[in-house]
Amino acid sequence: MPVLHNRISNEELKARMLAETEKRTTVSFYKYFRIADPQAFRDNLYRQFEALKVFGRIYIAQEGINAQVSIPESNYDAFRDTLFAAAPELNGIRLNIAVEDDGKSFWVLRMKVRKQIVADGIEDPDFDPSRVGRYLKADEVNAMIGDPGTVFVDMRNHYEYEVGHFENAVEVPSDTFREQLPMALDMLKEDKDKNIVMYCTGGIRCEKASAYMLHNGFKNVFHVEGGIIEYARKAREQNLPLKFIGKNFVFDERLGERITEDIIAQCHQCGKPCDVHTNCKNDGCHLLFIQCPDCAQQYDGCCSEACTTEHHLPEEEQRALRAGRENGIKIFNKSKDHPLRKHRDAWKEERLAGNNPRPGDPQNK
């Protein structure tokens, strides 16, 4: 019986991936369908994908599958055939090919069984996630985006919306999808007679959100087919004007795909135009934030002077400082309520008001 999970260190696996000479293709896909035995389905698919040297992150639940993976180009056809044959519902599934791809998005295959592929917090037994809104193709998106009777709703998190979004799209200001759903209902309650167009990165969140809106009495509900990734690809293929402005955040090593050259976000430390996400280098923090090259040099890739200082301490002292900290303020913190972002937003408000304060480190204020 082969090992059904990885037992090699991340460092070695990443080094192996970087040493590869064959190009890889990064794709994402999802499908809501009934899986009777998620663990057996996972184990069977894991064996086949491991043999094809597929890397990436795949979640499997009774409600379906959600994946972001990279595949060696020579194995791409075999990967597609394997996926299509894994279940009748997956035959012909749409594969969203990355807009920008250096082939270095993943270095290990992680396939997990979860309660849901998208945690939604919905407890209504009558909710049917398969009763979804109407798909919109790229040309239809462009036709509707300027319609005063249409509202575009971004169903991604704050840090994703911040670096790029559709023109005039409404942000649902929340850190989690489960919080967004009831919030979206409340925000849009006066727009029930309008066209509601929901979108997200690859389609999985906005598809479920469209079903939730229909379940709660909205009539004219749409969602962007394949999300931002597929929209950008099709718009370019068809020479359509791009109505998504800025950068599309992605959940792999790249942390973003550039859609247009517009930079609509600011460095979280100094306020300069910037949309480059990074993780704080301090192992006791790893906050996800936006940092310009000047601040990256000043803070040595950290989010604050305090983290820079800690990052330069001997490892034994760093471990002692990390001991006892709550996990909630540590690894890959993306919350819009993090002090660094609160400081950034306050600085932006003052700047727009004409006060133009001198930006400084948020944790030293």
Active-site residues, by number, are 200
134 vs 4: CA distance, rounded Å:
38
CA angle 237, 78, 205 (to 5 degrees): 55
What's the Cα-to-Cα distance from 36 to each of 67, 131, 190, rounded to whole Å?
A: 19, 20, 40
Pairing state between β 164-166 and 195-199: unpaired
> Number of C-alpha atoms within 13 angstroms, CB side, residue 363?
12
Helix axes 177-187, 204-215, angle to 10 degrees: 50
Distance of CA 313 to the CA centre of its chain: 33
Place of tokens 């499997």: 60
Tell me, what DSSP letter sits at residue 85? Answer: H
Q: Which residues contact 288 (CB under 8 A, 6 or more apart)?
A: 159, 277, 278, 279, 332, 333, 334
348 vs 360: CA distance, rounded Å:
13
What's the Cα-to-Cα distance from 243 to each of 6, 41, 113, 167, rounded to whole Å?
A: 41, 39, 36, 6
